[in-house]
């Protein structure tokens, strides 16, 4: 085949992006602008960028048997597998410069010209490929850890005010096992060992221009979870006896699964932001697919025990968990997660845990200086959560706020740090 020579690109594949066109047209006329991978004989770094992505795309269109690593495709890198694909392309077309004895794996003047000519011809006959359908499962799970806990001995059960160690006793005694790394949400929901859950299973179509269409929600729910039965086995009998001596009813330690309560502001929102979002750093260029937020707390039975039996100074506060899932382009998605500082939270993409944050907790009671057993309440790490609830002298307060970030609502625990993860899916 006679080698092609040209100074301007013509195909849409290589001219639709002005910055890409500039780089690739330089390759047509300038040997120093050749596009290549680093080698042992020519150390350096692999060429990388949208111009490489355009070359990779053209190879897939022009040859049926092209194989390029997903990592090179997602990052637009001219790595080893891209170089081998170019070499195979050149060999089938006999692209060998006069000074060479065999084809190499570099995109130079003649290779770029040949790619452009073939794409120009193909574009006149090419039928756009059907959009690719993607099925995804995303969600969040919140739970209470058993540790750290300041309650481990009879001495730990006696500091004053007694409602504080009693509250910590209840949190540890009704703690949950951590959720699995890979989860089937409907099945996990049935075991009731969680404090809140959000779930969304949906499908989207993605075309070759990274346009998303045909968003379909196949299943979605939010669930405020349960307070599980108190497990006395997490403490010694002496510890339990100490609390019983303070007049606590033994029924406190023998409970069934008690349903939690969800705020009316809890929602698995799709194709847009939740009105009470606390996640503010999502770039404008990312397409929001799901923004779930659940505001929840332990239900009436648990609150009654806390106020009437434990004599807590506050009702159970509102806590919350939020998740944002976006499409970035080129098979990349982002997961943003944020929740209140208590309990623990984890976020899932494609049913796999992408990140988790542990709850705020206390490993010991801070004691007021000069006393033997008086707790310095303001120094408790968990006190900002406990004290967020409405005063126990009045009624348990419902959800009185519908606007603004959820962490600004009355009787609601403050937020913790944010988790952000980029996830790549293969074709």
Q: Is pLDDT at 2 greater than 60 in this prediction?
A: no
* Residue 4 within any structural domain of the chain: no
Of 54, 105, 49, nearest in space to 77 by CA: 49
For range 132-161, the mean pLDDT: 91
pLDDT of residue 123: 85
For range 72-76, the mean pLDDT: 90
137 & 16 share domain: no
Domain boundary among 105, 125, 145: 125
* Residue 1 within any structural domain of the chain: no
We report the CATH number of the domain holding residue 109 as 1.10.101.10
Of 380, 390, 315, 340, nearest in space to 168 by CA: 380
Following DSSP, what letter does each residue of 355-386 receive, concatenated? EEEPPP--SSPPBPTT-SSBB-GGG-TTHHHH
Q: Is pLDDT at 1 greater than 80 in this prediction?
A: no
Q: In the chain, helix, strand, coil percent, each to 5?
A: 30, 25, 45
- What are 96-141's pLDDT values in tens digits? 776 676 788 889 888 999 999 999 888 887 677 789 999 999 999 9
164 & 253 share domain: yes
- What are 315-354's pLDDT values in tens digits? 999 999 999 999 999 889 999 999 999 999 999 999 999 9
66 & 193 share domain: no
Domain boundary among 79, 96, 125: 125
For range 267-286, the mean pLDDT: 95
- What is the rounded end-to-end Cα distance, in angstroms, of the chain? 34
* Residue 285 within any structural domain of the chain: yes
* Residue 6 within any structural domain of the chain: no
Domain boundary among 86, 102, 125: 125
Q: How sure is the predictor about 29, in pLDDT bands with cuts at 50, 70 and 90?
A: confident
75 & 215 share domain: no
Q: How sure is the predictor about 178, in pLDDT bands with cuts at 50, 70 and 90?
A: very high
Q: Are strands 132-143 and 196-206 parallel, antiparallel or unpaired?
A: antiparallel
Phi and psi torsions of 338, nearest 5°: -155, 145
* Residue 380 within any structural domain of the chain: yes
Q: Is pLDDT at 41 greater than 80 in this prediction?
A: no
For range 271-276, the mean pLDDT: 97
pLDDT of residue 40: 47
296 & 408 share domain: yes
pLDDT of residue 3: 62
Give the range among 5-14, 131-140, 370-379, 387-396 with minimum mean pLDDT: 5-14
pLDDT of residue 37: 79
CA dist., res. 68 & res. 80, Å (int): 9
Provide the number of structural domains found in the chain. Answer: 2
* Residue 214 within any structural domain of the chain: yes
Q: How sure is the predictor about 25, in pLDDT bands with cuts at 50, 70 and 90?
A: very high
19 & 115 share domain: yes
96 & 176 share domain: no
120 & 233 share domain: no
397 & 265 share domain: yes
* Residue 2 within any structural domain of the chain: no
29 & 108 share domain: yes
Residue 377 vs residue 98, higher pLDDT:
377
For range 46-74, the mean pLDDT: 90
Indicate the pTM of the whole model.
Answer: 0.72
Of 389, 415, 347, 382, nearest in space to 148 by CA: 382
313 & 297 share domain: yes
**CB contact at 8 A, 366 and 379:** yes
* Residue 3 within any structural domain of the chain: no
Length of the chain: 427
pLDDT of residue 59: 94
Q: Are strands 196-206 and 258-259 parallel, antiparallel or unpaired?
A: unpaired
Range of the structural domain that residue 377 is part of: 132-424
- What are 280-305's pLDDT values in tens digits? 999 998 999 999 999 999 999 999 99
- Computed over every residue of the chain, the mean pLDDT equals 90
121 & 136 share domain: no
């Amino acid at each position: 085949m006679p080698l092609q020579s040209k100074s301007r690109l013509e195909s849409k594949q290589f001219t639709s992006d002005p910055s890409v066109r500039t780089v690739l047209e330089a390759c047509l006329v300038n040997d120093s602008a050749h596009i290549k991978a680093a080698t042992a004989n020519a150390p350096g770094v692999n060429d990388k960028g949208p111009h490489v992505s355009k070359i990779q795309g053209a190879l897939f269109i022009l040859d049926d048997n092209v194989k390029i690593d997903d990592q090179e495709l997602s990052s637009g890198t001219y790595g080893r597998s891209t170089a081998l694909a170019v070499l195979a392309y050149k060999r089938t077309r006999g692209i060998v410069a006069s000074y060479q004895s065999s084809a190499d794996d570099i995109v130079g003047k003649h290779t770029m010209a040949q790619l452009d000519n073939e794409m120009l011809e193909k574009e006149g006959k090419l039928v756009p490929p059907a959009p690719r359908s993607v099925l995804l499962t995303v969600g969040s799970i919140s739970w209470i850890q058993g540790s750290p806990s300041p309650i481990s001995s009879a001495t730990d059960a006696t500091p004053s005010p007694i409602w504080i160690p009693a509250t910590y006793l209840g949190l540890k005694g009704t703690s949950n096992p951590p959720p699995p790394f890979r989860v089937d949400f409907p099945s996990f929901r049935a075991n009731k060992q969680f404090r809140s859950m959000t779930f969304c299973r949906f499908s989207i179509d993605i075309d070759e221009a990274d346009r998303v269409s045909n968003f379909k929600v196949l299943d979605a729910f939010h669930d405020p979870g349960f307070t599980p039965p108190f497990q006395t086995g997490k403490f010694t009998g002496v510890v339990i006896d100490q609390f019983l001596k303070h007049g606590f009813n033994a029924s406190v330690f023998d409970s069934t699964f008690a349903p939690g309560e969800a705020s009316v502001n809890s929602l698995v929102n799709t194709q847009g932001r939740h009105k009470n979002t606390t996640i503010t750093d999502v770039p404008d260029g990312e397409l929001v697919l799901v923004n779930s937020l659940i505001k929840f707390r332990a239900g009436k039975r648990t609150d009654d025990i806390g106020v009437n039996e434990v004599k807590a100074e506050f009702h159970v506060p509102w806590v919350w968990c939020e998740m944002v899932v976006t499409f970035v382009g080129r098979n990349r998605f982002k997961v943003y997660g944020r929740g209140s500082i208590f309990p623990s939270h984890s976020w899932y993409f494609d049913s796999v845990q992408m990140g988790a944050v542990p709850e705020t907790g206390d490993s010991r009671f801070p004691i007021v200086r000069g006393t033997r057993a008086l707790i310095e309440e303001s120094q408790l790490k968990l006190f900002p959560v406990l004290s967020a609830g409405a005063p126990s002298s009045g009624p348990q307060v419902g959800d009185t706020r519908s606007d603004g970030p959820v962490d600004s609502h009355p009787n609601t625990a403050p937020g913790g740090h944010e988790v952000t993860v980029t996830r790549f899916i293969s074709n």
